[in-house]
Amino acid sequence: MSMRDLYDGVRKRSLMLAEPLSDEDCGAQSMPDASPIKWHLAHTTWFFETFILERFEEGFAPFHPAFRVLFNSYYNGIGERHPRAQRGALTRPAMREVRAYRANVDARMGRLLAQQGGDELLGLLELGLQHEQQHQELMLTDVKHLLAQNAMWPAYMDSALPRAQGGAALAWIGFDGGLAEIGHGDDSFGFDNELPRHRQYVAPFALASRLVSNGEYLAFIEAGGYREPSLWLSEGWDRVGELKLAHPLYWQRDAHGQWHEFTLHGLQMLDAARPVTHLSLYEADAFARWMDARLPTEAEWEVAAAGIATASGGLHPAAAPQGGGLTQMFGECWQWTSSSYAPYPGYACAPGALGEYNGKFMLNQYVLRGSSCATPPGHARASYRNFFPAGARWQFTGIRLAR
């Protein structure tokens, strides 16, 4: 596929994700960590305009001068920013104008790509597309969080979520360890945080053959897991107390004691065979301790994932397939690791504002590996490092056990 076709495909997919939503849905923000769909659509466009058109387009003039501030996410090198927690207050520009902004930038990008094509431009183009794909995942998780605030439990997609079949038994798969290489290694795209590929010594370990299921996690709840301090990291135990945590983010119990889970398909009966999702690292770690297991390190996960094909999913994680081997590594839930998000040895961040893309967040965040049902097709890879603070629960996060 040509870069131009890739560009068109990714750009169209963002708009497609907004299709089931009204303009009102697209403007709202439910918490500071989540952004309105409209903001995602504009910010990803701003990225191309600011980092590519401003640099390469002859006679560059911004689509709208105020957008430089309104749609800057966190780049101090670019200048001022609209406050993150107030993105929902940006009722102007309207969705209609943001669509026009996208069309305008797309047309200019088309002209530019027809004329120029150096390595630097193509590198930035690829970065911009990967960036937009990251926001596509956030569009789904952010809108899920938004809809979950509404006691009418509106569905993003009205189609039914079928009851999962069976669900495989959990097995342990052993790995020898040794001096391994991890990090992005071939010519394909990788973020700077996956680089450089480097050696790391990994002791022998085993991974669970599949993700932890809702049924298993329910057993933890019913055994009093949320009330037993010895299972929790100190900070996690404090959080359980402050927020009165007693179950994953979108679970709720009806008057008859029946558990339900809010999904992008609306409120659903809890399905024991599907993977448990929307957990903090605190919860993942406590569950692992309860199972006399632990979370994997990111190096262990990457060693195990070598050669496993990526997958991409629907709008909710599916139950593990029957049969042997390591399953659900990609396409269901991001998997919390015990590895803090830190620079690889020899890591160098890009010069200028793009150097802020990843590097400045390498503190007090933890790495998640794999990909989720919300990850765009083609975006996942074994060396990919997703990262969130330990308390984040609105992503499709799940548990892969190790020991």
Q: Which residues pair with 213 in a beta bridge?
A: 275
Could you tell me the smallest distance in angstroms from the CB atom of residue 397 to a second copy?
A: 16
Residue with tokens 């995602």: 40
Q: Which of residues 33-52 bind a second copy (CB under 8 A)?
A: 38
Tell which one of 203, 243, 246, 269 touches a second copy (CB under 8 A): 203
Q: Count other Cβ atoms within 10 Å, centred on residue 221.
A: 16
Instruction: Indicate whether 88 belongs to the interface with a second copy (CB under 8 A).
Output: yes
Query: Between the CA of residue 162 and those of 218, 271, 276, 314, 317, what are the distances in Å?
Result: 20, 10, 16, 12, 12
Of the candidate spans 55-63, 214-222, 334-342, 370-378, the one that interacts with a second copy by CB under 8 A turns out to be: 334-342
Pairing of strands 397-398, 334-340: parallel
Contact between 76 and a second copy by CB under 8 A: the answer reads yes
CB 369 within 8 A of CB 386: yes
Using rule CB under 8 A, residue 89 touches a second copy: yes
Stretch that binds a second copy, among 55-63, 260-268, 343-351, 375-383 (CB under 8 A): 343-351
Q: Is 172 in the site for a second copy (CB under 8 A)?
A: no
- Amino acid present at 388: F
Residue 375 main-chain phi, psi, to 5 deg? -75, 130
Task: Write the single-letter amino acid at 237.
Answer: W
Q: At what angle do helices 95-115 and 37-48 cross, to 10 degrees?
A: 20
Q: Quick check: 16 binds a second copy (CB under 8 A)?
A: no
Binding mask 52-71 for a second copy (x = CB under 8 A): --------------x--xx-
SS (H, E, C) 120-140: HHHHHHHHHHHHHHHHHHHHH
**Cβ closest to a second copy, residue 154 vs residue 314:** 154
Sheet of 266-269, strand order: 251-253, 259-263, 266-269
Q: Which stretch binds a second copy (CB under 8 A): 41-49, 124-132, 336-344, 392-400?
A: 336-344
248 or 266, CB closer to a second copy? 266
Interface residues with a second copy (CB under 8 A) are: 22-30, 38, 66, 69-70, 74, 76-77, 82, 86, 88-95, 146-147, 149-152, 154, 179, 198-201, 203, 229-230, 232-237, 281, 285, 294, 297, 338-340, 342-343, 345-346, 355-356, 360-364, 390
